[in-house]
Structure 1
Amino acid sequence: MKEINLASVIATKRKERGVTQDQLAAFIGVSKASVSKWETGQSYPDITFLPPLAAYFTISIDELMGYSPQLEQSAINELYIQLAEDFARLPFTKVIANCATIIKKYYSCFPLLLYIAKLYTNHFMLAESLQQQEALLHETVALCERIQKESGDVRLNREAVLYQAICCLALKNPQEVLDLLGDRPKRILAEGILVSQAYQSMGAVDKAKETLQAELYQYVMASFQILLNILQQNMDTFGKAEEAYVRAADFARIFNMKHLNPNNVILLDALGAQMYCANHITEKALALLDEFVDTCVGDFFPFALQGDSFFDLVDPFLHDFEASTPRSEKVIKESMLHDILMNPAFDALHDHREYQRLVQKMQKFLRKA
């Protein structure tokens, strides 16, 4: 991140123009000693001198101070990844305090604020108390509302609405979710198709193909998530739940989901195992847990969304999501063991030798990590 660096900027710009400290001092109306102190950082110019200094060097006051309220996307991605790692290795309150400092410094960098909202949404559960969790969720809602009111960016606004809805759901405010998103699904309008057709009309055939693949890729991921939710919502009706599971498994096979997004596959394995365990079909439950563990300890890490032989043009699209891993690798691994494999839904399997073997296998994997 760029820090205020007035001293070096004045010195550099003065030398670039080929003027002496005496000449700059005469123009501004101060002593040579004052200019010397500015350039060595011993003191700062009076605020009234900033406009004439900026005008003298033909730069903005922000440039004069070596400060930018905005960050490039690459810098935002790097910062996101670093903060996600900090949540895994540093005290929660320390990371939140760091985030608060960053927010104040870049309060008008709306893409960064959206990434902070993503971080908070994915890490609020690490707070020690329910009160702290709720406070962070409310802060995230406030960030999302600011983005919507001030950014003027349609894409950012749309994402901010979604993260605000997620927070409202976590805060047990379902009516606010409906107020934000509407009370029924909107008609699907695949914007990527229109963008692809526009590129096609311009003769940019490769760009048209790339756009269409990226659109389909997103719909594949979204459709799979919907199937997982249908499975989860129908756990009390075995026939419906198993049908959802079978369709999701077929979907995963057809679209090579284990390669594209192995996280989706382990979620399906875990939900399928819960379904079969709840219906006392132990053999199938253990078989799915075995697949779950094999995927976790196999090629899951380092986790990254990726294409395949069919989605062979999505790399530029995925590159924009360099920071897409919502939590650090350490936090994800611990969640695999405690939140999924050792879920109370599998209490009936605790005394089963195969289940114990799988838990030990995961624990061994975590110790090596």
Structure 2
Amino acid sequence: MSTLRISENIVRMRREKKITQDELAAFVGVTKASVSKWETGQSMPDILLLPQLASFFDVTVDELLGYEPQLSKEQIKCCYHRLAEKFAEHPFEEVMQESEKLVRKYYSCYPFLLQVCVLWLNHYNLSKDQNRQIEILESISGLCEHILENCKDIGICNDAVGIKAMVEIQCGKAAEVIESLEEILDPNHMQGEKEDILIQAYLMTGDMEKADYFTQIAMFKNVLALVVNGTQLMMIHGQQLELCEKVMKRIDAIIEVFQLEALHPNSIANYQYQAAITYCIQGKEEETYQRLESFVELVIRLLQEGIVLHGDDFFNRLDTWFEELDLGAKGVRTGKFVIESAVAALENPVLATLKQEKIHELKGRLMKEEEKL
């Protein structure tokens, strides 16, 4: 909980109402000296007077006290995963109402609000009402703006900018995304270099442990970024098969060398799916099926091994990093949601030209996994 600010609040609210200490004292039924002591922090109003003071200033008792409930990192993590599991098991609106109630209660706990934005962004499309989906996206955007206007933590604010951009993309507001991110992500500005400088500083001070820790994290993020960027290149150049196959050749090699199918099957599944779409557009059925098979196998592997981020014998520092993340190492979506998303991906109209019995077979494999959950 933040420090109570009742003294400064009484001073501020009294001045906003343009009344004297005498007038406030007369209304509450105390002496002017008592009000003076309240405002200088020498004493506190009697607990029985708090509702009367709050009523006079037309605020809640919490607002009068300056009480801002806060959640710990562990509480935020537990709350996120509890709500994510509820989205998979309970009616959508029931869980939304519970999460909205928590937002109102912890409206000044900006780390929590940021994770609520992540939660809603990951689950808003569970609503069958398109208007409701838009309404939730607007709520996410509104929470991000609230964070940006009031939070002083640069890291949280940067994340809020990113989440707001994701919402704008979902709403088709590409121009707004370009306006908010183009300057921030200008390749002429220092970005990745900051990590390199920090690692160099650790090396200069002889802190090899931290140098190793940050180097592994940077390396892992950069390797995954190559896969994501390769996926995007195929989306951009989907009509140029020769170029796309060059991309696939390089990304396939990276995946094999760094054993990314085991490390991060979700990202590799997305890559395999886009490769399948690319081949399907080009009428390459056999290659399309091969990539779809890989996509489905990775989704099943993700479910069977547990949706948990982890390192390996090469990236042996990642487990510590994942545990320190705001939401921990546990995945941000439940197994049921992952399967529903994968089945929906197989229903992409682009794949309608394929033999549907093969698509049904792939869906069936996914549905069997859902029955085990």
Identify unmatched segments of 5+ residues in structure 1: 2-43, 52-60
Q: What CA distance in whole angstroms lies between the structure 2 residues aligned with 1:113 and 1:257? A: 32
Specify which of 295, 299, 303 is matched with residue 307 of structure 2. Answer: 303
Give SS of 2:316's match: coil
How far apart are 1:177 and its partner, in Å?
0.6
Identity of aligned residues (%): 26
How far apart are 1:365 and its partner, in Å?
2.3
Structural mapping, 1:91-240, within 5 Å: 91-182=91-182, 185-186=186-187, 187-190=189-192, 191-240=194-243
Contact 1:232 1:241 in 2 (8 A): no
Corresponding residue number in structure 2 for 1:286 = 289
Letter in 1 for 2:233: I
Corresponding residue number in structure 1 for 2:28 = none
Q: What whole-Å deviation, never above 9, does each CA across 1:242-261 have from its counterpart, x for those lacking one?
A: 22222222221222111110
Q: What whole-Å deviation, never above 9, does each CA across 1:34-91 have from its counterpart, x for those lacking one?
A: xxxxxxxxxx95144999xxxxxxxxx99xx9x8611111111111111111221222
The 3 A distance-change label for structure 1 pair 366 and 102 is same
Q: What whole-Å deviation, never above 9, does each CA across 1:233-277 have from its counterpart, x for those lacking one?
A: 222222222222222222212221111100112112212222222
Corresponding residue number in structure 2 for 1:258 = 261
1:344 aligns with 2:349: yes
Aligned residue pairs total 313
Corresponding residue number in structure 2 for 1:27 = none
Contact 1:350 1:356 in 2 (8 A): no
How far apart are 1:128 and its partner, in Å?
2.4
How far apart are 1:350 and its partner, in Å?
3.1
Corresponding residue number in structure 2 for 1:358 = 362
Contact 2:307 2:331 in 1 (8 A): yes
Structure 1 stretch 105-114 or stretch 126-135: which is displaced more?
126-135
How far apart are 1:116 and its partner, in Å?
0.7
Give SS of 2:291's match: helix
Give SS of 1:298's match: helix
Q: What whole-Å deviation, never above 9, does each CA across 1:210-246 have from its counterpart, x for those lacking one?
A: 0121122222222221111111222222222222222
Letter in 1 for 2:79: L
The 3 A distance-change label for structure 1 pair 141 and 313 is same
Q: What CA distance in whole angstroms lies between the structure 1 residues aligned with 2:116 and 2:252? A: 34
The 3 A distance-change label for structure 1 pair 260 and 299 is same
RMSD of aligned residue pairs (Cα, Å): 2.7
Letter in 1 for 2:316: D
Q: What whole-Å deviation, never above 9, does each CA across 1:88-126 have from its counterpart, x for those lacking one?
A: 122221111111111111111111111011112112212
1:314 aligns with 2:323: no
Letter in 1 for 2:293: D
Structural mapping, 1:33-48, within 5 Å: 45-48=47-50
1:275 aligns with 2:278: yes
The 3 A distance-change label for structure 1 pair 170 and 69 is same
The 3 A distance-change label for structure 1 pair 288 and 319 is same
Corresponding residue number in structure 2 for 1:15 = none
1:327 aligns with 2:333: yes
Contact 1:80 1:323 in 2 (8 A): no
Q: What CA distance in whole angstroms lies between the structure 2 residues aligned with 1:323 and 1:131? A: 33
Q: What CA distance in whole angstroms lies between the structure 2 residues aligned with 1:151 and 1:273? A: 43
Give SS of 1:165's match: helix
Letter in 2 for 1:273: A
Structure 1 stretch 203-212 or stretch 318-327: which is displaced more?
318-327
Q: What whole-Å deviation, never above 9, does each CA across 1:307-359 have from its counterpart, x for those lacking one?
A: 1222111222111231662322111112112x22333222222345x444333
Contact 2:322 2:329 in 1 (8 A): no
Structure 1 stretch 256-265 or stretch 198-207: which is displaced more?
198-207
Give the TM-score of the pair, scaled to structure 1. 0.77
Letter in 1 for 2:128: E
Q: What CA distance in whole angstroms lies between the structure 1 residues aligned with 2:105 and 2:71? A: 11
